[in-house]
Amino acid sequence: MWIYEKKLQYPIDIKCKDIRMAKYIITQFGGPDGELSAAMSYLSQRYTMPTGKAKGLLTDIGTEELAHVEMISTMVYMLLRDATVQELEEAGLGSQYVQHGRAVFPQDASGVPWTAAYISSMSDPITVLHNDMAAEQKARTTYEYLINLTDDPGIKDALKFLREREVVHYQRFGEALMDVYDYQNTKKYY
C-alpha cells in the first residue's frame, strides 16, 4: 500500500541543540493532539466512511501524519544531540533519560506517554469529519505556540511547514464532509 521514500517530507535544518525546545516539540509526537494520535485516528476511521473519496482522503492524510511523526522525531533527536546527562537533568528530562536514554519516545511536553486513548474513531462519518477538522485546528494552534517559543530559523521553518499542512488537512476534511453530505442526501435506488 505504501511506498516509502527514504527522505523526510520536508528538510530539517537544525544546527544547534536546544533541549528546552525538544521538550516542547515532543508533544507533537506523543501528545493528545499530536501527529501520532492523528495518524492512528485517521487510519482507523477510514473503514466506516461511506464514499471512496472520504476513505481515500483519510488514508492519504493518515499516511502523511506518519511522515510528520518522522519529522518531529528528527527534530527532537537533533535538538537533543550532544546534550549531556547534566543538561538533560537541568531541563527536566532526567526521568526521560533514566527510562529511555537518548531515544525519542512518544510523550507530551509534560512527559506523559502516548496512549491509544488519544485515538478518535466512531462509525458516524459526519461526527468523525467534524472531529478531524477540530483536531487539525488544535494541531495548527499548537504549531503556532511552538513557533512563538523559538528564534531558531531552522526550527521555525520546519514548524511553519507542519502548521501549513494542518491548514491543508482542515480544508481537505471540509471537502470530504461535503462529499459525505452529498452522498447522504442522494436518493438511493435498490
Catalytic residue among 65, 87, 89, 130: 65
Catalytic residue among 5, 90, 164, 169: 169
Catalytic residue among 130, 136, 144, 175: 136
Residue 136 is a catalytic residue: yes
Catalytic residue among 87, 89, 130, 166: 166
Residue 166 is a catalytic residue: yes
Residue 164 is a catalytic residue: no
Residue 175 is a catalytic residue: no
Catalytic residue among 64, 68, 87, 90: 68
3-state DSSP assignment of residue 113? strand
For residues 117 and 30, give the distance between their C-alpha atoms in angstroms, rounded to a whole number. 12
Spatial CB neighbours of 159, under 8 Å, sequence gap ≥ 6: 25, 143, 146, 147, 150
Catalytic residue among 35, 64, 130, 144: 35
In eight-state DSSP terms, residue 107 is B
Residue 65 is a catalytic residue: yes
- For 28, 42, 54, 95, 160, the CA distances from 12, given in Å and listed in that order, are 15, 25, 31, 27, 12
Q: Tell me which residues are annotated as active site.
A: 35, 65, 68, 136, 166, 169
